[in-house]
Structure 1
Amino acid sequence: MTTRHYPSTIESRLSRRGVLGLGAGAAGAALLTACGSLGPGSSGSAKTVKFWDMMWGLTGYTPVAKKLALGYKPASGRPKASYQYIPWANFVQTFSSAVASKTGPAVSSGASYQALQFLRQGAIAPADDLIAKLDKEDFLPGTIEAMRYEGQYFAVPWQMDIRVLYYRKSLLERAGVAAPTDWDSLKAACVALRKQGRSGFGMQAGPATTVGGQQVLTMMFNNGGGMFDKDGKPDCVTDRNIETLEFLRELVSIGAIEKRYVSYTDQNLLTDVKSGKIAMTFIAPGYETNLPTADQADLVVASPLSGPHGDKGAYASINNLMMYTTTPSQQDSEAFLTYYLDHMKVLWQKGVVTALPVRQSIVDLPEFQANANMAKIAKEWQPVGKTHAALSPTPFPALNAVDGGQALAKFTQQIIQGAGTPRSQLESLQKGLESLVK
């Protein structure tokens, strides 16, 4: 079976954690020495448009992405591009050190809020001119505007990670229930599954992962709630959020959410989904690729649930491509990135990416539409996806610390363990966020 890599789930502790906490100079000169292979001489001359990229898909992703980048044929007088693979392990230090020493890339992929953090340090070049040239109508709703902060575009979106409800079709049929459509039917399905010794709300909330928090946020967003108000200020203790946590408490009480999930890793969750111990879970697109081929068709994406008040929502992160001020020229970076955006459909045509593309032209590809789960996610889940900011119309730099910090993780563990009341849990989250958002 092909090994699956999740930059925003299984590797979330690496791909998102701590960019804010580690400032540009935090890694120090010693780390620069350790990362010497990523210095200016390793990936092309000073006049090369250096593109640094992470592992974003299946094991075949990097060769395809590298070939795509190196296939760039610049206009006369413009520099060629080079490609450097950056491991998620220690990526924070790698980028921070490179930014501090001005030896970094001209263009890169990276964590969802990475560009916002480095923007504050003057290291990110604005993307306004590039976005002005793009066909905005080809981008899925909300993806372009999510790249705007204080009147300026800081990056260009290229794919979305979102938490969607997967269920084992055979297990629900065996329990005599249909795929849930709202909270009542979700609870009913969980009760029926529990009678057969199965969990209906699998979670991954170990201390080294952010997935559990994203699963909780999905339910909060599904009830019109969130962590921040429209001005980006922490606002956790609301009636809708309390109602959501009361529902999750019910799921804990009936065994749909099991106490052991408090220490679950990606492998724990996957093992239980494979074995049938977990029949439903909110997880990333393409999760079925982790199962044996014979079982993949049994793992199906449900439609978004309707919350108690008719709301629909799910946690999502919009991954982007960013340009840096360390470049031969801004025009060179834009020329390369324009090419890359126009040709990146090959990543989905080759099947090396399972994240959701943000361009309708890629969604419309026959190779994409052939996957019923992915087609459903694009059509039904993408329009209701919300970032950590949720109720705020724009993102803000502090979200990086929130995403990678411990406040949301501790909050999730309290829910699973049944520690305190919904109100006290939200009050604890509020304090944790206030310490990060200053």
Structure 2
Amino acid sequence: MPGFDNPLTVSRRGLLAGAGGVAVLAALAACAPAGGGGGGSGAIKFWNMPWGNTQFTPLDKKITLGYKPKSGLPSASYQAVQWANFTTTFASAVASNTGPAVSSGSGTQAFQFSQQNRIAYADHLLESWKSNGMYDDFLPGLLDTMKTSRGYVALPYNLDMRALWYRKSLLEKAGVEPPTDWQSYLDVCEALKKIGIFGYGIAAGAQGNGAQGIVGLMINNGGGLFDHDQKPNCVTPQNIQALEFIVEMVKKGYMDPGSVSYSSSNAQAQWKNDKFAMGFEAPSLAQILGGTVQDDMRVGDPLVSANGTKGALYFPNNIMMYKNTPSQKGSEAFLTYYYQSMKQLWTTSTGAGLPVLRSIAETPEFRADANAAKMVDVWQPVCKTWAAPGNDALFPNVALVDSTPAMSTFAQSILSLKVTPKDALSTLQKAITAGMK
């Protein structure tokens, strides 16, 4: 998974680390009988990932252990699961019925385990939240991303996205205003090139997130990778036009040639060294860069594409419940408490990504970060998931395009100008189709 060299890069998003991880997850989960109450009479085991900086896990554990259940319901225990080998950790634990009752994990993990009949759907819990206002507290469209034909597989928890960032001082040095559409983006890149700065900052190496930024521009133009039937549909006019826009930037020298193999760390160094002035990056970028550069970072407006549309790629990370629990009622009671108590994770600078609840996004502490507030207010409403343009609901096969070798190859082939946009999209579609079950 790209970005593990820094705890605040795309590792926070936590989507599955390629098709190999998916295969391990599915194979191990299939080793034991499906369903079953299990779990004994112990506590509700909550497993969470280190979504932020070093302050995140201690505070998250404190919140969890502060749960005081009603009489007759189990208490909660806490376990932090590290990103390294996390797919195997979850898969083996679930297969042996020693796993959690509630957890976060990869963004597609719930969809994978639901195929193995391991997930306890969240419909009853969400219905109970309608009476206390919690159901309506989610940001627009987020619950729809979790909905399948069998019910809601999980609850939205935190958001990652690929938004447009820029260095304010570098654009001022070039004498230009932030771009608002694709043509003005090209114009700004040209002005930056004249002073030796790259306007299309991207990292397309195996440890980079370049493919996500490229798909984000496809979505920006009304395209994407899947149709309404959840089948790959990559070779479309919208996608070809988006890749032609990227190719134009590469040919005109607006991209650092080294970007084809850059890791996220390489790209971060270029931002710090005044070489990257614009790029489509994670919400945590400014915090990662730190120092005086952090104060210079700004989130721009969503661009209007050549097709006249706005859009971007985002990742609704989630929390799921499992059938293997000492008490389904207990799991739901714990999650009600947790969602009512987790505000501190976003109001005390733990780097937990963007919140999914309006009540958190509206706090003065969160809104003190103008960039984060803008991503929630302006970017989240136009964002779409990997399932675009068909719909926004995730499904198991989106794991085939998230941080996979096929996606890295796709991005590198475009940025190195080795193939035409149409050929790159055709090759990608074949790879996705071959991996589908």
Q: What pairs up with 1:21-420 in 2 under 5 angstroms?
A: 21-26=23-28, 46-134=41-129, 135-209=134-208, 211-393=209-391, 394-420=393-419
SS in 1 for 2:315: strand
Cα contact 1:18–1:404 (8 A) shared by 2: no
CA 1:314/1:237 → structure 2, altered by over 3 Å: closer, same or farther?
Answer: same
**Partner Cα distance (1:200, 1:348) in 2:** 31
How many angstroms does 1:59 deviate by? Answer: 1.4
**Partner Cα distance (2:403, 2:27) in 1:** 19
Whether 1:6 aligns to 2:4 is: no
Amino acid at match of 1:183: W
1:408-438 deviation per Cα after TM superposition (whole angstroms, max 9, x unaligned) = 2111011110011111111111111111224
SS in 2 for 1:180: coil
**Partner Cα distance (1:262, 1:90) in 2:** 26
Partner of residue 20 from structure 1, selected from 7, 19, 22: 22
**Partner Cα distance (1:354, 1:186) in 2:** 30
SS in 2 for 1:304: coil
**Partner Cα distance (2:188, 2:106) in 1:** 35
How many angstroms does 1:405 deviate by? Answer: 2.4
How many angstroms does 1:88 deviate by? Answer: 0.1
SS in 2 for 1:307: coil
Aligned-pair identity (%)? 46
1:135-185 deviation per Cα after TM superposition (whole angstroms, max 9, x unaligned) = 332111110111111141100111110111110000001011110100001
1:221-258 deviation per Cα after TM superposition (whole angstroms, max 9, x unaligned) = 00000111121111111111111111110000111223
SS in 1 for 2:124: helix
Unmatched 5+ stretches in structure 2: 32-38
SS in 1 for 2:25: coil
CA 1:54/1:12 → structure 2, altered by over 3 Å: closer, same or farther?
Answer: closer
CA 1:292/1:155 → structure 2, altered by over 3 Å: closer, same or farther?
Answer: closer
CA 1:276/1:12 → structure 2, altered by over 3 Å: closer, same or farther?
Answer: farther
Unmatched 5+ stretches in structure 1: 30-43
Cα contact 1:113–1:397 (8 A) shared by 2: yes
SS in 1 for 2:24: coil
Cα contact 1:108–1:323 (8 A) shared by 2: yes
**Partner Cα distance (1:130, 1:7) in 2:** 32
How many angstroms does 1:198 deviate by? Answer: 1.1
C-alpha RMSD of matched pairs (Å): 2.0
SS in 2 for 1:20: helix
SS in 2 for 1:323: strand
SS in 2 for 1:166: strand
CA 1:270/1:428 → structure 2, altered by over 3 Å: closer, same or farther?
Answer: same
Partner of 2:421: 422
Cα contact 1:368–1:375 (8 A) shared by 2: yes
Cα contact 1:258–1:416 (8 A) shared by 2: no
Q: TM-score, normalised by structure 1?
A: 0.92
1:55-77 deviation per Cα after TM superposition (whole angstroms, max 9, x unaligned) = 10111100000001001000011
How many angstroms does 1:131 deviate by? Answer: 1.0
Cα contact 2:14–2:317 (8 A) shared by 1: no
CA 1:27/1:93 → structure 2, altered by over 3 Å: closer, same or farther?
Answer: farther
Partner of 1:33: none
Amino acid at match of 2:203: Q
How many angstroms does 1:292 deviate by? Answer: 3.4
SS in 2 for 1:368: helix
CA 1:153/1:13 → structure 2, altered by over 3 Å: closer, same or farther?
Answer: closer
**Partner Cα distance (2:400, 2:23) in 1:** 7
CA 1:306/1:11 → structure 2, altered by over 3 Å: closer, same or farther?
Answer: closer
Q: TM-score, normalised by structure 2?
A: 0.92
1:7-52 deviation per Cα after TM superposition (whole angstroms, max 9, x unaligned) = 63588687666442213444999xxxxxxxxxxxxxx985110000
Give the length in aligned residue pairs.
421
Cα contact 1:160–1:356 (8 A) shared by 2: yes
Amino acid at match of 1:138: D
Cα contact 2:8–2:288 (8 A) shared by 1: no
**Partner Cα distance (1:7, 1:88) in 2:** 12
SS in 1 for 2:339: helix
Cα contact 2:18–2:404 (8 A) shared by 1: no
How many angstroms does 1:326 deviate by? Answer: 1.2
**Partner Cα distance (2:398, 2:112) in 1:** 9
CA 1:232/1:13 → structure 2, altered by over 3 Å: closer, same or farther?
Answer: closer
**Partner Cα distance (1:116, 1:280) in 2:** 34
CA 1:204/1:87 → structure 2, altered by over 3 Å: closer, same or farther?
Answer: same
**Partner Cα distance (1:17, 1:61) in 2:** 29
1:190-219 deviation per Cα after TM superposition (whole angstroms, max 9, x unaligned) = 11111111111111111244x111100110
Amino acid at match of 1:58: N
Cα contact 1:201–1:257 (8 A) shared by 2: yes
Cα contact 1:323–1:333 (8 A) shared by 2: yes
